[in-house]
Amino acid sequence: MSTNTYELSAAEKKFVGWHVFFAVAALSVGALFGPLQALEHSGLDLYPYLKPVFKSYYQGLTLHGVLNALVWTTFFITGFLTLAVSKGLERPMKYPKLNAVGFWTMVVGLVTAAIPLLLDEASVLYTFYPPMKANWAFYLGLTLVVVGSWIEGYGMYYTFAAWRKENPGVRSPLAALGSVITMVMWQIATLGVAVEILTMLLPWSLGLIEGTDPQLARTYFWFTGHPLVYFWLLPAYLSWYSFLPKQVGGKLFSDSLARFAFWLFLLLSVPLGFHHQYVDPGVPAGWKFLHAILTYSVFLPSMMTAFTVVATLEKAGRARGGKGLFGWLRTLPWNNPSVTAQLLGGILFFFGGIGGLANASYNVNLVLHNTAWVPGHFHLTVASAVTMSFMGITYWLVPYVTGKKLISDKAAHWANWLWFTGMVIFSNAMHVVGLLGAPRRTPLGLAPYIPEEWSGHLLRVGIGGTIMFFGIYTYIILLARTAWSKKAEAADVEIPLAQAEQDPQNTPEWLDKWVPWLVGTVVLLIVAYGPQLIDQISNISLNAPGGRVW
Amino acid sequence: MSENNQEFKPKGTMAILLIFVLTLILLWGSVFLILLSRGMTVGV
């Protein structure tokens, strides 16, 4: 097996660093609103004190969702995948200017969307369902962020194709293959929201058409909305497969299983959006059933990932002296904050997976769909497995791109454990209070109908959210001080790219072929969405005038 | 799989995955039973 010694150039490091900068900057604003939502639920409403700047709970909730779930993730992911493609393929981007155009398009989009958000002209939550109507700049800004990420994806495709041309017959390096599959999945998935905005929301907000079709808009949105979860998760999995094994002193247990999982995620991530629309009257039950089955099919690559990653950890832990059925867990390098963050994220995801499967069952979903259970669940995915993995990655990535040692490992551990502890309290309380019927997207502190049995759980929501706030701000300050402090020690950090137990060249060839998987993906999409899209588009009713409800 | 892996039996991994499946059944089942215990919604 060849040893990858490729190092990114100073310009490439700077480019990746800019992604992380914008990602963390967005997180630093979005995270401010987390405790405000949580404390509001527990009866301490601080929004009135912020009135001159932030007008309402819903403005805060929208900023929290958009900046954390869309901006923090998308900027971090495009930067991290750029690094993974270059390192994996041992070459720079084929057209770095193309990637730069993509990135700055995203920045322009972020600024364009941020202005109406901050002016309270787009408090439509991060799902921006019509007939709630935002300022046109919000829709345009989101479109530019998505288009920018597409352009960055094209840069990765050209780079991958150039590598393939230079290396016929060689198995694609997993880090690069996983990155490109993630971008392909993202580009297919975002067609939904692109069509929604360009054909409906943008012309509607500009006054070019009079109304929208909320049912069709929701179908377009969830075409993108669920695979968006996999756009968040796959880079975390990429880290667990391609970087974490080296960090724990081991090797990836199975290169073949890892590749197979990525291909299955490409195939199965998109055609299942109707499981978010079980309560939509405009989608026939048969199509909801089909999407429910497809949703459960994603359990297969998810469990394959769990097996491969945990087996990798077990083997490494045993090599470090771990004995017994679980003794190897103790011997993993918990003193490395990058490893700890990812392990803690994985532990939280254990419960996120369980909640997700319960959500996906039709009859349970009918009862839980509009309750606090759902944000409780997705905080265990995007705010746990994903965010904690990204935190763990930045503990080596920021020193790598800045050439400075992380200023305090202790602070990183504090950030990890505070976030983890807060999330355990917060998410458990949200699940329980949701099960008791508490609605989501609601300022519960103002609601006159709160029964006594919710009170203790809502208090835990406030406590958990506050602890998480201290955790994430410890993290943000740590990164800022590392990047800008003149006292930070110089560091010679290498990218912890792992090898696999097997020579990747022995991986079956069908796991390195694009055409069958792409054809399968398109065919499955046509089967799962085609007839319903034709039906909904041919019966389109642009009769919802829309308005401002905040 | 390499010779090295053939000797390695991920018993801990299988145990964790088994615990995951059992927890999944337990929590999912309990949610289902809680909702069933509240009875059906009767239309008026």
Which residues, 6+ apart, have CB-to-CB distance to A259 below 8 Å? A174, A177, A178, A507, A511, A512
Q: Which of B2, B23, B27 sits opposite A501 (nearest CB)?
A: B2
Provide the residue-wise pLDDT of chain A in tens; the chain has 550 residues: 568 889 999 999 999 999 999 999 999 999 999 999 999 999 999 999 999 899 999 999 999 999 999 999 999 999 999 999 999 999 999 999 999 999 999 999 999 999 999 999 999 999 999 999 999 999 999 999 999 999 999 999 999 999 999 999 999 999 999 999 999 999 999 999 999 999 999 999 999 999 999 999 999 999 999 999 999 999 999 999 999 999 999 999 999 999 999 999 999 999 999 999 999 999 999 999 999 999 999 999 999 999 999 999 999 999 999 999 999 999 999 999 999 999 999 999 999 999 999 989 888 898 899 999 999 999 999 999 999 999 999 999 999 999 999 999 999 999 999 999 999 999 999 999 999 999 999 999 889 899 999 999 999 999 999 999 999 999 999 999 999 988 878 888 999 999 999 999 999 999 999 999 999 999 999 999 999 999 999 999 999 999 898 8
Residue B5 binned pLDDT confidence (cut-offs 50, 70, 90): low
- CB-based contact B1 A306, cutoff 8 Å: no
From CA A407, how far away is CA A342, in angstroms rounded?
19
Distance from CA of A378 to the nearest CA of B (A): 17
Structural domain containing residue A403: 10-538
Dihedral of the alpha carbons of A205, A210, A211, A217, in degrees to the nearest 10: -50
User: Cβ–Cβ contacts within 10 Å for residue A303, how many?
Assistant: 15
From CA A84, how far away is CA A78, in angstroms rounded?
10
Domain count, chain A: 1
A500 phi/psi in degrees, rounded to 5: -100, 160
In a domain, A112, yes or no: yes
Q: Which of A253, A314, A358 sits opposite B27 (nearest CB)?
A: A358
Q: Which two tokens stand for residue A346?
A: 């994985």
Q: Which two tokens stand for residue A282?
A: 């405009």
Q: Which two tokens stand for residue A262?
A: 């990525």
Q: Are A481 and A398 in contact (CB under 8 A)?
A: no
Q: Which two tokens stand for residue A487?
A: 């006292």
Tell me the angle at which helices A337-360 and A373-380 cross, rounded to the nearest 10 degrees: 140
- CB-based contact B13 A354, cutoff 8 Å: no
In a domain, A427, yes or no: yes
Helix then strand then coil, in percent of chain A rounded to 5, is 70, 0, 25
- CB-based contact A354 B23, cutoff 8 Å: yes
Q: Is A243 one of the catalytic residues?
A: no
Vertex A59 angle, CA A105 and A542, to 5°: 70
A371 phi/psi in degrees, rounded to 5: -110, 175
Give the model's pLDDT for residue B41: 65
From CA A158, how far away is CA A153, in angstroms rounded?
9
Q: Which of A287, A479, A502, A458 is nearest to A397 (CA)?
A: A479
In a domain, A179, yes or no: yes
Determine contact: B29 vs chain A, CB below 8 A.
Answer: no
Enumerate the residues of chain A whose CB falls inside 8 A of the CB of residue B5.
Answer: 253-254, 315, 501-502
Dihedral of the alpha carbons of A465, A466, A468, A469, in degrees to the nearest 10: 120
Q: Beta-strand (E) ranges in A132-173? A: none
Report CA A167 to chain centroid distance, whole Å.
32
- CB-based contact B17 A310, cutoff 8 Å: yes
From CA A221, how far away is CA A268, in angstroms rounded?
17
Enumerate the residues of chain B whose CB falls inside 8 A of the CB of residue A1.
Answer: none
Q: Is A276 one of the catalytic residues?
A: no
Q: Are A359 and A407 in contact (CB under 8 A)?
A: no
- CB-based contact B17 A253, cutoff 8 Å: no
From CA A337, how far away is CA A415, in angstroms rounded?
9
- What's the one-letter identity of residue A355? G
Q: Are A138 and A113 in contact (CB under 8 A)?
A: yes
Give the model's pLDDT for residue A209: 96
Q: Are A273 and A226 in contact (CB under 8 A)?
A: yes
Report CA A296 to chain centroid distance, whole Å.
20
> Does this complex have an ipTM over 0.85?
yes
Q: Is A460 one of the catalytic residues?
A: no
- CB-based contact B5 A361, cutoff 8 Å: no
User: Cβ–Cβ contacts within 10 Å for residue A452, how many?
Assistant: 6
User: Tell me, what CATH number does A206's domain have?
Assistant: 1.20.210.10
Q: Are A66 and A126 in contact (CB under 8 A)?
A: yes
Q: Is the peptide bond before A227 cis (omega within 30 degrees of 0)?
A: no
- Residue A74, CA distances (Å) to A148, A184, A312, A445 in order: 10, 14, 28, 32
The secondary structure of residue A46, as a DSSP letter, is -
Query: Which residues pair with residue A132 across a beta bridge?
Result: A547
Alpha helices by DSSP H, A42-72: 57-64
Enumerate the residues of chain B whose CB falls inside 8 A of the CB of residue A329.
Answer: 12
Q: Is A378 one of the catalytic residues?
A: yes
pTM of this prediction? 0.96
CA atoms within 13 A on the CB side of A479: 27
Report CA A449 to chain centroid distance, whole Å.
34
Token pair 């920018």 is at which residue?
Answer: A148
The secondary structure of residue A201, as a DSSP letter, is I
Picking from A310, A331, A377 by the largest number of B CB atoms within 10 A of its own CB, the best residue to mutate is: A310
In a domain, A500, yes or no: yes
In a domain, A5, yes or no: no
Report CA A184 to chain centroid distance, whole Å.
15
The secondary structure of residue A145, as a DSSP letter, is H
Task: Kindly tell me the sign of the dihedral angle through the C-alpha atoms of A64, A66, A244, A269.
Answer: positive
Give the model's pLDDT for residue A110: 98
Alpha helices by DSSP H, B1-44: 3-7, 11-37
